[in-house]
């Protein structure tokens, strides 16, 4: 079916046209054709971004590179997000050197903010343990006016050093942050405190905590409670309970500005006599929950931190206290809770959260929550139950299923041997302009051949070819074996009739 071109073409219209194409090479053909059909038309940054994103997602890095060079030659104004997408695509294809080469060529483009591109590339290099390249790249670009903030990178570097058990170097970076025209944020303190405590550098961790008090307003800062808790629990683990209680009092008075009744209620006798390490932690956490500045942000910070550590019971206590104080839990708390339950294998409990608990609290699930439950159910081989959430998302306003939703469901159904159901989900996925990965189609076609559904397998093969992808050799073998089996069956039936 041919494309119906408008009388006058705008970049927005071209973006819509190429996004509707199933075959990325067909989209590229239309992208190139537009300039010849409309002599006065010029591509702008967003339409280049759309084309680069389409090619990157489909693994067409050579074609993507050509479009990027064309964008450079056109000298049109382009956003940092275009390069973030291209750098990520190169990394997924194992072409980190190409990603670095693209970043180094950014001065040749009409782009005035490289912050996200730099952060994305540094993250990739850190994941690949290329720390020398990370250091060199930062030195070359940290002082450029196109890089608006250095805090994210310095936090990233501190996190890497702490994981390498070099919190001493992380502390040095922390102390030098002000010389980089940036100041430590909550994440900086959290990363460094955790690193110091894991290496038992508790004196330096204590000094770090006291330094936090200087930057806190007269009202206190409840969100910092996650940093305080890290030190207090580390002191308990190191059998320094008395020191933990002493610091807890200072935290409640100076850090959280808690009312006197909160730190007067601490059971010092119980803490110092007969309480084991875990009991001490429970008492301290209860004191912090009661003592934090009553606000949605402070409760959220503490609950999310508990769930991230897998401490589901403690997180539930924060939710209970939050409800008692009249605060409505945010959707981000439920995201953390569902994620913690799924990691712990409590998928049925995660389903109760999204089906019942959130409904009672008048909190509407978002796409991340649905995807979390779907992923958990598929991991537990309950993909059939996960399909109902796809239907629920489709009915909910502003929560349409995304690529991750469909991909997780198709993969989950295939692992459970539900190949026909997976093909139906794939059909919905394609109708919403989300194109599956080649690996997903390979797995589905082989599965359909195994269950003898040759017709659907061939339809999936046609989808694969329309995406300009080629099946692997195992898929062709499965198709041939299924065709031969069907022909053999037909021959036997004919012999019986004759």
Same domain? 300 vs 371: no
Summarised one tens digit per residue, pLDDT across range 26-78 is 899 999 999 888 988 999 999 999 999 999 988 889 999 999 999 999 888 88
**Minimum mean pLDDT range among 281-285, 377-381, 451-455:** 281-285
What span, in angstroms and rounded, lies between the C-alpha atoms of 160 and 166? 9
What span, in angstroms and rounded, lies between the C-alpha atoms of 449 and 312? 44
For residue 56, the domain's CATH number is: 1.25.40.10
Q: Which has more pLDDT, 12 or 284?
A: 12
**Is 201 inside any structural domain?**
yes
Last residue of a domain, one of 344, 363, 382: 363
Same domain? 3 vs 114: yes
**Minimum mean pLDDT range among 123-132, 198-207, 339-348:** 123-132
Q: How far is CA 452 from the centre of its chain?
A: 38
Same domain? 103 vs 212: no
Beta strands in 246-307 (DSSP E): none
Summarised one tens digit per residue, pLDDT across range 119-171 is 899 889 888 888 888 888 887 887 777 777 778 888 888 888 898 889 998 99
Q: Quick one: pLDDT at residue 372?
A: 92
Same domain? 38 vs 116: yes
**Is 21 inside any structural domain?**
yes
Same domain? 150 vs 283: yes
Determine how many CB atoms are found less than 10 A away from the CB of residue 439: 10
> Is the confidence at residue 289, as pLDDT, over 50?
yes
Same domain? 36 vs 114: yes
Q: What's the predicted TM-score (pTM) here?
A: 0.77
Same domain? 380 vs 342: no
According to DSSP, the residues that pair with 110 across neighbouring strands are 77
Same domain? 31 vs 130: yes
Query: Residue 247's domain spans which residues?
Result: 145-256+279-291
Same domain? 136 vs 32: yes
**Is 274 inside any structural domain?**
no
User: Is residue 370 within 8 Å of residue 405, measured between CB atoms?
Assistant: yes
**Is 271 inside any structural domain?**
no
Total count of residues recorded for the chain: 498
Same domain? 201 vs 77: no
What span, in angstroms and rounded, lies between the C-alpha atoms of 423 and 449? 12
Same domain? 114 vs 7: yes
How many domains does the chain fold into?
Answer: 5
Q: Quick one: pLDDT at residue 255?
A: 63
**Is 415 inside any structural domain?**
yes
């Amino acid at each position: 079916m041919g494309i119906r071109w408008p009388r006058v073409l705008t970049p927005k219209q071209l973006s819509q046209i190429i996004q509707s194409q199933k075959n990325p090479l067909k989209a590229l053909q239309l992208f190139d054709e537009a300039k010849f059909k409309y002599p006065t038309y010029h591509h702008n940054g967003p339409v280049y971004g759309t084309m680069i994103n389409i090619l990157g997602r489909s693994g067409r890095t050579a074609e993507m590179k050509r479009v990027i060079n064309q964008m450079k030659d056109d000298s049109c104004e382009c956003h940092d997000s275009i390069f973030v997408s291209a750098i990520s695509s190169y990394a997924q294809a194992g072409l980190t050197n190409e990603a670095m080469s693209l970043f180094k060529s950014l001065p040749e483009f009409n782009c005035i903010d490289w912050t996200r591109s730099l952060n994305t590339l540094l993250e990739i290099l850190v994941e690949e343990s290329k720390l020398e390249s990370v250091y060199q790249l930062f030195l070359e670009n940290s002082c450029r006016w196109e890089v608006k903030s250095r805090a994210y990178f310095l936090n990233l570097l501190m996190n890497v050093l702490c994981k390498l058990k070099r919190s001493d170097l992380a502390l040095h970076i922390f102390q030098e942050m002000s010389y980089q025209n940036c100041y430590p944020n909550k994440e900086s303190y959290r990363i460094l405190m955790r690193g110091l405590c894991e290496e038992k550098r508790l004196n330096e961790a204590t000094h770090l905590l006291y330094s936090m008090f200087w930057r806190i307003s007269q009202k206190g800062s409840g969100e910092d409670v996650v940093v305080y808790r890290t030190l207090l629990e580390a002191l308990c683990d190191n059998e320094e309970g008395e020191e933990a209680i002493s610091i807890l009092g200072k935290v409640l008075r100076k850090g959280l500005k808690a009312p006197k009744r909160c730190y007067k209620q601490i059971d010092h006798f119980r803490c110092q006599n007969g309480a084991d390490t875990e009991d001490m932690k429970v008492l301290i956490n209860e004191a912090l929950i009661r003592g934090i500045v009553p606000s949605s942000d402070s409760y959220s910070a503490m609950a999310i931190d508990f769930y991230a550590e897998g401490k589901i019971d403690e997180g539930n206590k924060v939710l209970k206290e939050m409800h008692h104080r009249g605060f409505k839990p945010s959707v981000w708390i439920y995201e953390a809770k569902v994620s913690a339950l799924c990691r712990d294998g409590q998928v049925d409990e995660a389903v109760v959260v999204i089906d019942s608990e959130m409904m009672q609290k008048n909190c509407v699930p978002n796409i991340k929550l649905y995807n979390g439950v779907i992923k958990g159910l598929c991991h537990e081989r309950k993909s059939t139950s996960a399909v109902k959430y796809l239907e629920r998302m489709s009915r909910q306003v502003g929560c349409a299923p995304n690529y991750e939703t469909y991909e997780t469901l198709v993969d989950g159904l295939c692992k459970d041997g539900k190949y026909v159901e997976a093909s139906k989900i794939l059909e919905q996925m394609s109708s919403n302009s989300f194109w599956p990965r080649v690996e997903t189609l390979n797995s589905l076609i082989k599965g359909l051949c195994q269950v003898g559904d040759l017709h659907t397998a061939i339809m999936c093969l046609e989808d694969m070819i329309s995406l300009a992808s080629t099946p692997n050799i195992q898929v062709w073998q499965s198709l041939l074996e299924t065709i031969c089996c069907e022909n053999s069956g037909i021959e036997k039936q004919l012999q019986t009739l004759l």
